[in-house]
């Protein structure tokens, strides 16, 4: 199946000469959740803004369901819902009017039943007659999502949807995203919270300095780049690691109290059982043992750190 979003060699230089995107290639499949991770200023919002037709690209091409986002702006924009980072809504308007008005902006006929469903799904129904200024910050964010869904878009962009919201609301938002996915909506979200990507994304893209460093299936990424460690707390400290253990991923911590065995899913290594037997044969005993698996956060820090 053709990707729903196809980005080819996308570049963006702002008027002041700053190059925010340096040739991005990315395909987004229909129905997936893609999380874009990257530090501040990486170019995430710029990329989203181009796909949504808010910012013009300098070079390259973006197709949404086969339509060019510049030449065929109207067709592509109605397919997309955008939840921006900043609250830009009239504080003196009611929730119902704000969300209904958004639908009209996309040239869609009124559909009160759809607006009601969106507000109910986002637990905003009992607030529909409240003015925005009467809502908490978290509820205002839900209103932004409701606005973005008002015109029944196939694609939803969420730019930092949970920045600054509490844990309960964050989990609520994840549930909303999950329900949208079940209904077939394609979701692209940017986030600083790696646990968010780990929790809800199918694929993860890492952007830094205007370049897409990688985009990969989340589970495959964790298997490929993730490392596992076995940590052995020694019964007696060691001065040095016997030579027979050198070069197989085993190392002694500087204080001599712990042995760390790095095992790599890609490499052929001796089994843990064999290693423990060899250690015992060398009279090296341990009082405790634990394992540690690198998280998406470790992988992200290694990638972004390495690219700097
Ligand atoms: N209108 C503009 N003129 C000049 N430079 C800009 C403009 N808009 C953005 N930039 C610069 O482009 C770079 C990318 O910004 P962008 O907002 O796309 O990053 P981001 O990855 O979304 O960051 P954040 O996580 O902080 O939102 C930044 O260095 C920013 O200062």
Edge-to-edge strand ranges of the sheet holding 228-234: 250-252, 258-263, 228-234, 286-293
Provide ipTM, 2 decimals: 0.94
Q: Which two tokens stand for residue 221?
A: 């990424």
Ligand 1 centroid – CA 27 distance (Å):
22
Q: How far apart are CA 225 and CA 212, in angstroms?
A: 17
| Ligand 1 binding pocket mutation candidate from 42, 49, 160, 210 (most atoms within 8 A of CB) | 42
pLDDT in tens, 157-167: 999 887 777 77
Place of tokens 């308007």: 93
Task: Measure CA 8 to chain center.
Answer: 21
Q: Atom 17 (ligand 1): residue with closest C-alpha?
A: 45
Q: CB count, 10 Å around CB of 22? A: 15
C-alpha of residue 303 to centroid of ligand 1, in Å? 20
**What pTM did the predictor assign?**
0.79
Give the closest residue to 147 by CA, choosing from 119, 169, 175: 119
Distance between Cα 156 and ligand 1 center (Å): 21
Nearest CA to ligand 1 atom 9: 46
Q: Residue 75 in contact with residue 66, Cβ under 8 Å?
A: no
CATH superfamily entry for domain 5-223: P-loop containing nucleotide triphosphate hydrolases (3.40.50.300)
Instruction: Tell me, in angstroms, the distance from the centre of ligand 1 to residue 178's CA.
Output: 29
Closest of 31, 28, 38, 32 to residue 62, by C-alpha: 28
| CATH class, 226-307 region | alpha beta
pLDDT digits (tens, 9 = 90+) for 39-93: 888 999 999 999 999 999 999 999 999 999 999 998 999 999 999 887 776 788 9
- Every domain of the chain with CATH number 3.40.50.300 lies at 5-223
Residues of the chain with CATH 3.30.70: 226-307
CA distance linking residue 205 with residue 197, whole number of Å: 10
């Amino acid at each position: 199946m053709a990707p729903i979003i196809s980005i080819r060699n996308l570049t963006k230089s702002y008027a002041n000469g700053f190059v925010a995107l340096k040739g991005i290639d990315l395909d987004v499949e229909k129905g997936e959740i893609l999380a874009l991770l990257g530090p501040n200023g990486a170019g995430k919002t710029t990329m989203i803004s181009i796909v949504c037709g808010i910012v013009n690209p300098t070079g390259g091409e973006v197709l949404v369901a086969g339509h060019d986002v510049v030449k065929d702006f109207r067709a592509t924009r109605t397919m997309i819902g955008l939840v921006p980072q900043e609250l830009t809504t009239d504080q003196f308007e009611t929730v119902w009017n704000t969300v209904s008005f958004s639908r009209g902006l996309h040239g869609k006929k009124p559909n009160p039943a759809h607006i009601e469903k969106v507000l109910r799904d986002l637990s905003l129904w009992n607030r529909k007659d409240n003015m925005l200024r009467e809502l908490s910050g978290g509820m205002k964010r839900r209103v932004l999502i409701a606005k973005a869904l008002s015109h029944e878009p196939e694609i939803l962009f969420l730019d930092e949807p949970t920045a600054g919201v509490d844990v309960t609301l964050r989990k609520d938002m994840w549930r909303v995203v999950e329900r949208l996915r079940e209904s077939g909506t394609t979701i692209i979200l940017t986030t600083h919270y790696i646990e968010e990507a780990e929790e809800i994304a199918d694929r993860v893209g890492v952007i830094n300095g205007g370049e897409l460093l990688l985009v990969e299936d989340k589970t495959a990424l964790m298997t490929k780049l993730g490392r596992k460690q076995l940590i052995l707390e020694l019964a007696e400290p060691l001065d040095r690691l016997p030579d027979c253990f050198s070069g197989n991923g085993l190392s002694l911590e500087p204080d001599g109290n712990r042995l760390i065995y790095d095992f790599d899913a890609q490499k052929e290594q001796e089994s843990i059982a064999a290693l423990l037997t060899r250690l015992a044969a060398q009279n090296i005993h341990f009082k405790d043992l634990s394992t540690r698996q690198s998280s998406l956060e470790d992988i992200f820090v290694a990638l972004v750190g390495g690219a700097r």
